C-alpha cells in the first residue's frame, strides 16, 4: 500500500502533500469501517460530524485529508501505463495480489449487474463470457461452476475442447431439455430425475412442491444421491460448495460498496443546504 502512486495535479495547495504510510493505512482502515458500519450510503459530512458522526473517523484523520486521498489515490503511473500498454487488465493492482488469485481445481464464473447506459444487446453472452473467463486454463483439467445465466448445452462442448468440465444450474425454459425434467406434475418432493444428452448429465430435483431445480454436469455420469433427509443429488451439494465463494464475494461487495465516490456522498439535507449556499 505504501508504494501506491498518488497524483496531486489540480488539487488545492493544502492537498499537495503526498500521503504517508500511516495516511494510507488509515485511509484503507476507514474504508473498511464504512463497510462495518454499513455506511456506504451515508454522507461523508455525517461520518465526520462532531456531534452525530463516528468518533473514530475524526481521530484517524481529518475529513479534508480523507477527501484529498480519495480523489488522488492511484494504483499505477498513468504515464507508464501509456508507454507499456500492458495487456494484463489487472496490471494496476497486480502488485497487491498474492497467491490467493491463483485458480484452484474448482473455478466459478458468476455475473454482477452494473449500470449500463446503452441499448447494445448480445446473443449468447453467457457462453462468450464463460469462455473468455477461462482463457489460459486450457488442458488444466479444472472444473468450472456456473449459474443459469451461463449454462447451456452448447457450453460443455466448448469446455471439452479446453479439457475443462462443467457444473451448473440451467434454466428450465431451455428448448434442449426433456419435458420430463422440467414438469412439476406428479413429482414427489425430494425426488430426482436424471437425463443424458451429448455426454452431459442432467438432473431435475424437486426441492418442494411445484419447484424444480435443474442442473448440468460433465465431470462424471453417475447420478449419486445423498443420504440426507432431503435426498439432494450430489450435483447440488457440489454446486453449492463451489459457489459459496462467489456468494461471499457478492455479500462483501454489497457491504463494502464503492460504486459511489465517498467525497461526493452527502445527505439530501446537506445537498440542499449546499445549493442554498451557492445562491
Is 92 in the same domain as 108?
no
Is 201 among the domain residues? Answer: yes
Does 113 or 209 have the greater pLDDT score? 209
The whole-number pLDDT of residue 2 equals 46
As a whole number, the mean pLDDT across the chain is 78
Is 56 in the same domain as 82?
yes
The answer on pLDDT for 68 being more than 70 is: yes
Is 263 among the domain residues? Answer: yes
Whole-Å CA distances, 17 to 6, 10, 125, 270 = 10, 13, 46, 28
Torsion angles phi and psi, residue 16, rounded to 5: -85, -15
- In angstroms, the CA 4 to CA 162 distance is 38
Q: Which residues are within 8 A (CB) of 159 and not within 5 positions of it... i.e. 6 or more apart?
A: 130, 134, 144, 165, 166, 218
Is 71 among the domain residues? Answer: yes
Domain that holds residue 38: 13-98+255-277
Confidence (pTM)? 0.67
Is 161 in the same domain as 225?
yes
Q: What is the pLDDT of residues 80-129, one digit of tens each?
A: 666 666 666 667 666 666 555 667 788 888 887 766 676 777 788 889 98
* Cell representation of residue 259: 460504486
Is 238 among the domain residues? Answer: no
- In angstroms, the CA 18 to CA 72 distance is 10
**b/e map 84-96, b = 16+ CB within 10 Å:** eeeeeeeebeeee
Is 219 in the same domain as 147?
yes
Other CB atoms within 10 A of residue 33 CB: 15
Element (H, E) at 156: helix 155-161
Is 250 among the domain residues? Answer: no
Is 199 in the same domain as 153?
yes
Contact between 66 and 27 (Cβ < 8 Å): yes
Which segment, 101-105, 179-183, 247-251, is predicted with the most confidence on average?
179-183
- In angstroms, the CA 74 to CA 6 distance is 5
Is 74 in the same domain as 188?
no
Is 94 in the same domain as 118?
no
**b/e map 68-78, b = 16+ CB within 10 Å:** bbbbbbeebee
Is 107 in the same domain as 225?
yes
Count of the separate structural domains present in the chain: 2
Tell me the pLDDT band of 189, cut-offs 50, 70 and 90: very high
The answer on pLDDT for 180 being more than 90 is: no
The whole-number pLDDT of residue 206 equals 93
**Three-state DSSP state, 225:** strand
The answer on pLDDT for 167 being more than 50 is: yes
Tell me the pLDDT band of 196, cut-offs 50, 70 and 90: confident
**Three-state DSSP state, 97:** coil
Other CB atoms within 10 A of residue 194 CB: 17
Torsion angles phi and psi, residue 200, rounded to 5: -120, 140
Contact between 63 and 44 (Cβ < 8 Å): yes
Is 138 among the domain residues? Answer: yes
Is 52 in the same domain as 168?
no
Is 228 in the same domain as 110?
yes
Is 43 in the same domain as 113?
no
Is 108 in the same domain as 189?
yes
Is 27 among the domain residues? Answer: yes
The answer on pLDDT for 245 being more than 90 is: no
Contact between 143 and 166 (Cβ < 8 Å): yes
Give the number of C-alpha atoms closer than 13 A to the C-alpha of residue 275, restricted to the C-beta side. Answer: 7
Q: What is the pLDDT of residues 32-46, one digit of tens each?
A: 888 888 777 778 888
| Best CA proximity match to 69, nearest among 2, 3, 8 | 8
Which segment, 63-77, 202-216, 258-272, is predicted with the most confidence on average?
202-216
- In angstroms, the CA 44 to CA 266 distance is 6
Is 242 among the domain residues? Answer: no
The whole-number pLDDT of residue 6 equals 44
The answer on pLDDT for 14 being more than 70 is: no
Amino acid at each position: 500500500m505504501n508504494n501506491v502512486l498518488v497524483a496531486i495535479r489540480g488539487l488545492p495547495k493544502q492537498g499537495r502533500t503526498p500521503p504517508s504510510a500511516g495516511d494510507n493505512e488509515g485511509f484503507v482502515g476507514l474504508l473498511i469501517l464504512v463497510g462495518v458500519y454499513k455506511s456506504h450510503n451515508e454522507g461523508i459530512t455525517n461520518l465526520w460530524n462532531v456531534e452525530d458522526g463516528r468518533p473514530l473517523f475524526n481521530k484517524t484523520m481529518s475529513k479534508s485529508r480523507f477527501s484529498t486521498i480519495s480523489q488522488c489515490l492511484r494504483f499505477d503511473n498513468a504515464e507508464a501505463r501509456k508507454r507499456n500498454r500492458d495487456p494484463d487488465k489487472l496490471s494496476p493492482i497486480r502488485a497487491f495480489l498474492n497467491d490467493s488469485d491463483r485458480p484452484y481445481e474448482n473455478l466459478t464464473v458468476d455475473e454482477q449487474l452494473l449500470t449500463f447506459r446503452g441499448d447494445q444487446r448480445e446473443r449468447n453472452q453467457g457462453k462468450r463470457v464463460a469462455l473468455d473467463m477461462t482463457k489460459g486454463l486450457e488442458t488444466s483439467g479444472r472444473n468450472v461452476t456456473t449459474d443459469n445465466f451461463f449454462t447451456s448445452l452448447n457450453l460443455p462442448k466448448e469446455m471439452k475442447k479446453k479439457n475443462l468440465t462443467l457444473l451448473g444450474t440451467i434454466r428450465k425454459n431451455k428448448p434442449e431439455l426433456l419435458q420430463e425434467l422440467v414438469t412439476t406434475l406428479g413429482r414427489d418432493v425430494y425426488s430426482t430425475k436424471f437425463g443424458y444428452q451429448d455426454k452431459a448429465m442432467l438432473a431435475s430435483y424437486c426441492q418442494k412442491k411445484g419447484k424444480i431445480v435443474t442442473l448440468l454436469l460433465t465431470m462424471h455420469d453417475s447420478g449419486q444421491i445423498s443420504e440426507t433427509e432431503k435426498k439432494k443429488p450430489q450435483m447440488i451439494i457440489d454446486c453449492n460448495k463451489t459457489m459459496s465463494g462467489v456468494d461471499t464475494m457478492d455479500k462483501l461487495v454489497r457491504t463494502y460498496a464503492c460504486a459511489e465516490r465517498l467525497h461526493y456522498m452527502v445527505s439530501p439535507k446537506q445537498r440542499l443546504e449546499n445549493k442554498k449556499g451557492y445562491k
